[in-house]
A and B are shown apart, each in its own frame.
Chain A
């Protein structure tokens, strides 16, 4: 039935994968290279990782990033989940526009979101700091949580909830024992995505972070503008590994219990 693909297609695809991965792998390899300046391989070392741990600025940025990521993840997960749940009870004619608003943070270019929040904070005379970064992260992360939880809700239908209510369960009992267990994988997966987005965000944070709230990506940007350094390779490697682990975990949680196939990939 199916014709075999043209061999050139296969070769092209393999080359594309090499193109995509060589630079990333290179950063990782160089983070173990025992030389500060040269581009050649001078042997394996963990020195750069050790010096990261000793660097006060890196540790400060890491702490800022973690605090911001934890707080914004909790808030974004709550808001995103509430949006998905309550959207089902909203009159059909309102769902379109409300959906549009919820998708906006995904669509609007980061730079516009960053600068418009900067303008807002300055108009309200809110000093820039961790809290302003958190607000920004909550705003874009909740949309992603909404998308994931919404997909989960759409897939489950309402029959079980209706059955529970017919059997005399109250609204909260139904929510607690029927709805929540079914959407929990969506919520966890959404939270993991929110955490990763927050940890990785540069563009929006760049506009709304104050001098005391430098996050890891902002720190990396500052260093990268000055040129290359082996510590930055090490830091980038760590960030890459953490992000990928979190996202694969999110994917795993979402797929488990869901009869494989369908939505293998992330909502993008």
Chain B
């Protein structure tokens, strides 16, 4: 019976070769530099990381973080009531709601982003409607703005937020809510002190998913932001596929992953300490 564990060997070799080794090479490459032709020079250098300190890249890096956090917060705010409603509905509504929320996962995000071009462009649906109803005379410039990028991001990642929230809210111990209302707590109080803290795992998972996905999604800025806006992932992509500065691209990738990890750790710390405080408050 025990021999079957050796079948894991090919899996391990595959993942080692095509997952672990490539990422180690990227880390190594981030400490190299390139020659004038764009070839990688195999000697140690801080060049890639030094280039990052250029104010241009620092600005884009900051913009990326701001955009990712904004997207995450908006997704959280609009998804929570939806997830809450679903978790509180009849099984039939829950089933259909979950199917409807899951379907977008399987629709290519390129298509979902492109759909907004149809809506937002100058002769697009939104402008046509606004002109038709006489609310505006001239079409508004909505495409290729920061707002369009933010909208596209929120649109793409709302399902990523709803599902983990739903799972968490669905598991809330309803008896505690009953107990709270029996003891005279208002709906808001019961929500604030019981439902919200108990759905924290979902908030955490959803936020991390949305944050990391937004930061890596260069296509949305590409399609809805035009040339005006870019994120760190646009720069990374350009280094590898256009500018051919792989060491700099690698350094940016390392910075991107490390930033995500640090923010995730910080975020989970904050969530944890909040729950401790709530618990202490409960005991007092």
Residue numbers of A with Cβ under 8 A of B are 1-2, 5, 8-10, 12-13, 16-17, 19-24, 26-27, 30, 37-40, 79, 82-83, 85-90, 98, 101-102, 104-105, 108-113, 115-120, 123, 135-136, 138-139, 142, 165, 171, 196, 200, 202-203, 206-207, 217, 220-221, 224-225, 227-228, 232-233, 236, 239-240, 243-244, 246-247, 264-266, 268
Contacts and interface: CB of A to CB of B under 8 A. Distances in A.
A243 B107 contact: yes
Interface stretch (B111-119, B195-203, B271-279): B111-119
Interface string B40-58: 0000000000000000000
Given A79-B10, A89-B4, A139-B18, A123 B115 contact: no
Contacts of A5: 84-85, 88-89
B118 A221 contact: no
Contacts of B128: 39-40
Interface of B: 1-8, 10-12, 14-15, 18-23, 25-26, 29, 78-79, 81-82, 84-86, 88-89, 95, 97-98, 100-119, 121, 123-125, 127-128, 155, 158-159, 163, 174, 178, 212-213, 215-216, 218-219, 222-223, 233, 236-237, 240-241, 246, 249-250, 253, 256-257, 260
Q: For the complex, would chain A's binding face be called helix, strand, loop or mixed by DSSP majority?
A: helix
B8 A9 contact: no
Given A9-B84, A23-B115, A111-B216, A105 B19 contact: yes
Contacts of B2: 89
A244 B108 CA distance: 10
Nearest to B98: A265
B26 A115 contact: yes
B97 A13 contact: yes
A266 B159 CA distance: 13
A37 B5 CA distance: 60
B14 A232 contact: no
Contact of B118 (A123, A203, A228, A265): A228
Contact of B11 (A8, A26, A40, A82): A82
Contacts of B7: 82, 85-86
Contacts of B159: 20
A10 B158 CA distance: 17
Contacts of A119: 22, 25-26, 29, 240, 246, 250
A23 B236 contact: no
Residue of A10, A30, A88, A224 ringed by the most chain B CB atoms within 10 A: A224
Q: Which 9 A-B pairs have the closest CB atoms?
A: A23-B115, A109-B216, A116-B22, A120-B22, A89-B5, A86-B8, A86-B7, A9-B85, A13-B85
Contacts of A115: 26, 236-237, 240, 249-250, 253
A247 B19 contact: no
B164 to A, nearest CB: 9
Contacts of B3: 89, 171
Contacts of B237: 111, 115, 206
A266 B95 CA distance: 12
Contact of A120 (B25, B89, B158, B163): B25
B111 A240 contact: yes
B249 to A, nearest CB: 7
